[in-house]
Amino acid sequence: MARAADRPPGAVDSGLVAVTLDFGNTLVPVSGAALRQVVEATARAVVERTGVAATTTFMAVWAEERERQFREEVPRFHEVDVARRVVRVLARLRGMPAPGPDEPWDDATAARWSTSDETAFVLDAYGRSFVEALPAPSTVRPMLERLSSRFPLGVLSNWPLADTIDRYLEAAGWMPYLAAVVVSQRVGTIKPHPAIFRAAEAALDVASPDRGRILHVGDDWAADVVGAKQAGWRAAYFTGRPAGSPLPASERDTSVEPDTEVASLEVLEAAVDRLDGGG
């Protein structure tokens, strides 16, 4: 594939300058069973350390607070905060009543029911459990190695605990091939908001005139495809999302057209070749 230096003088360079990939259900399939295993392992660790409740009770309260956060935060393009969820769950399990469905949490009061060390312990248990429960797909590392020899690569993900992604990338051996890891928790907003795409441009050191030559690959139509196109990027719609995954998703609409569609990561490189050639 011809690179910029090989093209004749005056030719329009429509090749790619960078590629970003979504994490959950693009690079890593996340099933309901696996995520339940993560929460259950976290619950066992917390119950053993604190004795706050039975494992099943912890899991039920965790699920309720997770749904509350998604209901309240996602419409505002805010990432849900797992650390805040931990504080709320521990407060409830120790006797603080939960607010009504339309009432806000008093987080300052909730924080009095636990310590920062306990919160850190729960987050660590969650991260370790996630890495253990979701083995890295064997095809991803060689793909990243090949693509990284051609473009700066980045992970661009909506995820409520950035440390979990960091742990996973390190454990999988993928980090050496990534020029940037941009996670909504750190940025403060979620895809499809343009702010997170601008943060990725900065992390990848791509100047604004070249943003139309960044390709983003993701499985969520609104977050990944609409978000990328509205940010001025190219978009590859990943249609290989596992059925029944509990991660948020959106329905395809006609507001934008993806630059390409890929059913699996095995065919992604061929799609990248076509787009890098200007096709």
Per-residue pLDDT tens digits of the chain, which is 279 residues long = 333 333 333 334 569 999 999 999 999 999 999 999 999 999 999 999 998 889 999 999 999 999 999 999 988 888 889 999 999 999 999 999 999 988 999 999 999 999 999 999 999 999 999 999 999 999 999 999 999 999 999 999 999 999 999 999 999 999 999 999 999 999 999 999 999 999 999 999 999 999 999 999 999 999 999 999 999 999 999 999 998 899 988 999 999 999 999 999 999 999 999 999 854
Which of 80, 114, 133 finishes a domain? 133
> pTM of whole model > 0.75?
yes
Q: Identify whether residues 40 and 95 lie together within a single domain.
A: yes
State the Cα–Cα distance between residues 71 and 154, nearest whole angstrom.
29
The closest alpha carbon to 83, from 38, 127, 123, belongs to 123
Are 246 and 271 contained in the same domain?
yes
CATH number, domain with residue 215: 3.40.50.1000
Q: How far is CA 273 from the centre of its chain?
A: 25
- Are 105 and 148 found together in one domain? no
Beta carbons of 22 and 156 less than 8 angstroms apart: yes
The residue among 23, 21, 4 whose CA lies nearest residue 13 is 4
Please list, in sequence order, all residues whose beta carbon lies within 8 angstroms of the beta carbon of residue 198, skipping any fewer than 6 positions away: 231
Regarding whether 172 and 254 lie in a shared domain, the answer is: yes
Asked if 115 and 10 sit in the same domain, the reply is no
Domain around 24: 4-30+137-276
Clarify whether residues 74 and 184 are in a common domain.
Answer: no
Same domain flag for 190 and 266: yes
CA distance 119 to 268: 39
One domain, residues 87 and 128: yes
Q: Among residues 133, 151, 178, which one ends one of the domains?
A: 133
Within this chain, do residues 25 and 146 fall inside the same structural domain, yes or no? yes
Q: Give me the number of domains the chain comprises.
A: 2
Q: Are 114 and 164 in a shared domain?
A: no
Strand partners, 19: 153, 215
Which of 79, 100, 133 is the C-terminal boundary of a domain? 133
74 secondary structure, DSSP code: G
Same domain, 166 and 51: no
Contact 238, 262 (CB under 8 A): yes
Residues 173 and 59 in one domain: no
Give the Cα separation of 32 and 168 in Å (integer).
18
CA gap 136, 139 in Å, rounded: 9
Q: With the C-alpha atoms ordered 257, 253, 239, 187, is the resulting torsion angle positive or negative?
A: positive
